[in-house]
Amino acid sequence: MLDKKLLGILVCPVCKGHLHYDRADAELICVIDNLAFPVRDGTPVMLSEEAREISLEEREKYS
């Protein structure tokens, strides 16, 4: 689980936009760039090369 303060200051490293935290999948989601950044052992991995592309269905879930 991520600290609420940390979630409040984290932004997408690609577009600097808002991120949604998906606790179940341990990912930070950027709907603007369609990317999901992993959270490993409570630490966000904010590298674009580590992110996965999200599906249209996932994007609609967070829009």
In this prediction, residue 3 has a pLDDT band, given cuts at 50, 70 and 90, of confident
Both tokens of 56, joined, read 């249209």
Predicted local confidence at residue 63, as pLDDT: 81
Show the domains of the chain with their CATH numbers.
4-62 (2.20.25.10)
- Check whether 1 has a pLDDT greater than 80: no
| pTM confidence score | 0.92
In this prediction, residue 2 has a pLDDT band, given cuts at 50, 70 and 90, of confident
The pLDDT tens digits of the residues spanning 10-60 come to 999 999 999 999 999 999 999 999 999 999 999 999 999 999 999 999 999
